[in-house]
Chain A
Amino acid sequence: MNIAVNTKGSKYHVNEKGYYGKFGGAYIPEMLYPNVEELRTKYMEIMSDPAFQKEFEDLLRDYVGRPSPLYLAKRLSEKYGAQIYLKREDLNHTGAHKINNTIGQILLAQRLGKKRIIAETGAGQHGVATATVCALMGLECIVYMGSVDIQRQAPNVARMKMLGATVVAATSGSQTLKDATNEAIRDWINNPVDTHYIIGSVVGPHPYPDMVARFQSVISEEIRAQLKEKTGSELPDYVVACVGGGSNAAGTFFHFTEDEGVKLVAVEAAGQGVHSGYSAATSQLGKIGVIHASKTLLMQTEDGQIVEPHSISAGLDYPGVGPMHAHLYDTGRGLFLNATDEESLQAAYELCSLEGIIPALESAHALAKLKELDLKPTDVVVVCLSGRGDKDLETYIKNLKK
């Protein structure tokens, strides 16, 4: 288990001040200082504890079902002329990579003596993963979700409720993921002592981006071992992942950042097209600023008001991007592509017909860019299949008929 690996001296991981290059930090109001400071001073100590790591590992194995398979997708490989592997995060309990992080954070919250858990959710995947671990540990769970998303993602709302969580509608602003995050932060301000906030991606104030990336880093740790077994080398030519806030991508990239020969490909949601006015391609449309207490790239007006993004996939519908990714973009270490709603739908249908796998709409964005990588037959490509498509069936069926 490598979640506490020392990344000091790396150009691509967080520095001792909580920054990735010029991105990151903790732009929090004083009301949040004790909570965030407690996390900052304790997270590495807790994550380094062998007893903690054993508990995390045991739950990932026996409860989540890890390691997730690394599957050589033969027909997809044939079509794109390369060796394409899918990292099957869709096979995890609750259907996405999100559970890696919620298992880690719930164990951490227990060690901090917290009694009450809050979370934000967009598509509902992180909300379900949080409700799940709260049920597992017998902790109170409150999930904030934009009213618009509550309507778009009804099955996940029902799942959270069945798991015992209270789902609170965020009715402020545009009533989507950004506003759900605002409401969760406001809840934390109002409940500073007994509550832990399980953020669902590599966003928010330091140490969240690093902490969440570390819990998700099991993805790339496993990929290295699995590739070694299958190909004789730990190193692929490409790793590809979709980016909303960027947690599945951070997990997929984590143990490859220093291997400069491995191309890190991040795929953002272009929505109806990067310049259509209905897009969530933050690296292309964003400017540096502060969102949810992190200095990073974000979509905003000239006056510094945060603008509403658009994506067919609720999980990528976020106007910012984690500071680690802003830095990978800024340094050129990451290759940032984007996929439209339509391209992603087509990529999802293609994976169904070629491999018999219905991917989450988010993950379909990553698949949609295989066609733009200049692939050779010898190239080894790993795509993070971050989640399964059950939650998106309605969208898939609706668009098939069109």
Chain B
Amino acid sequence: MNRIDQLFSKKQNNILNIYCTAGYPAINDTVGVMQSLEAAGADMVELGMPFSDPLADGPVIQASSTKAIANGMSIKKLFEQLKDVRQRVNLPIILMGYINPVLQFGVENFLEHCAATGVDGIILPDLPMDEYEDEYKPLFEKHGLHLIFLITPETSDERIRKIDGLSRGFVYAVSSSSTTGKDKEFAGQKQYFERIKKLQLKNPVLIGFGIKDKATFEAASAYSNGAIIGSAFVKALETSNDVPQTVNQFVKAIIN
């Protein structure tokens, strides 16, 4: 069974999913950061495959991507690092990235490598739903990989249902109409979160974008199965002298 599904079958509330950029802060930190996240009590990890032109990301994740690329990170390098990851990390691992580097690596080749290394889910925000349905869905299913789609406050109920139908693992609810790391007013999104809840989707829902601390994590989790923290975690790593300790403190501050 896919580790994402295993997780949700055991735990439905306050799921903490942490995003970090692969190859950041240093090229060989990728697996170590995931180990520290697991040790500290995070439930899931979203590993960013850095791209030169990340359209949906704000300044913090952009900067981490630029740095990771400069560090030598690429999809090829990432799979080298993930070769034995399942001997060291049990968390569900989701790879997040933009479509162009995946196209260059080759979609089928990419999915084969994901399956072989033990990746569970994939987020490709700029892969359109239709394209996925027409071209790639059978390939993802063949390799047992979940593709996770995004919804936003502007997504209609009808479209949310369609996205829910196509998503596997969970649905990623973007908290506000924004790029990552924006501090938009969280309280104003109540209606949107309640609307999602009422739809009673078949997939679990995790809320992301703008979640940065215990308060926002708990607020988001009150309406969903949990939340995703990205920019705030990357920012903590940016200034860290001791990565394992920073990771530990960051996670503990949220779940304790």
Contact = CB atoms under 8 A, between A and B. Distances in A.
Given A190-B182, A303-B74, A25 B99 contact: no
A181 to B, nearest CB: 9
Contacts of A31: 56, 150, 152, 154, 174, 177-179
Interface stretch (B12-20, B58-66, B226-234): B58-66
Given A25-B128, A189-B179, A290-B126, A304 B150 contact: no
B76 A182 contact: no
Contacts of B101: 303-305
A192 B103 contact: no
B53 A182 contact: yes
Q: For the side of the interface on B, what is the size category?
A: 35 or more
Interface in A164-204: 172-173, 178-179, 182, 185-186, 189-193
A119 B186 CA distance: 29
B100 A289 contact: yes
Contacts of A298: 100
A29 B52 contact: no
A303 B126 contact: no
A193 B178 CA distance: 12
A262 interface: no
Residue with the greatest number of chain A CB neighbours at <10 A, chosen from B53, B102, B151: B53
Residue with the greatest number of chain B CB neighbours at <10 A, chosen from A28, A33, A292: A33
25 contacts: A29-B125, A29-B126, A30-B125, A30-B151, A30-B155, A31-B56, A31-B150, A31-B152, A31-B174, A33-B155, A172-B66, A182-B55, A186-B55, A191-B177, A193-B154, A289-B100, A290-B100, A291-B100, A292-B55, A303-B75, A303-B76, A303-B104, A304-B75, A305-B52, A306-B53
Contacts of A179: 53
Contacts, number: 110
A26 interface: yes
B190 to A, nearest CB: 18
A229 interface: no
B217 interface: no
A298 B105 CA distance: 15
B24 interface: no
Contacts of B178: 31, 189-190
B100 A304 contact: yes
A161 B152 CA distance: 34
A29 B53 contact: no
Q: For the side of the interface on A, what is the size category?
A: 35 or more
A138 interface: no
Contact of A28 (B76, B103, B128): B128
B216 to A, nearest CB: 18
What are the 10 tightest A-B residue pairs by CB atom distance, in nearest-first order? A304-B101, A304-B104, A303-B74, A29-B125, A305-B52, A30-B150, A29-B56, A192-B177, A27-B126, A34-B154
B69 interface: yes
B152 A30 contact: yes
B223 interface: no
Residue with the greatest number of chain B CB neighbours at <10 A, chosen from A190, A191, A293: A190
Interface in A7-57: 25-31, 33-34
Interface string B64-105: 001001000011100000000000000000000011111111
B51 interface: yes
A34 B66 CA distance: 29
Contacts of B74: 303, 305
Contacts of A172: 59, 62, 66
Contact of A290 (B103, B149, B154): B103
A344 interface: no
B131 interface: yes
A291 B126 contact: no
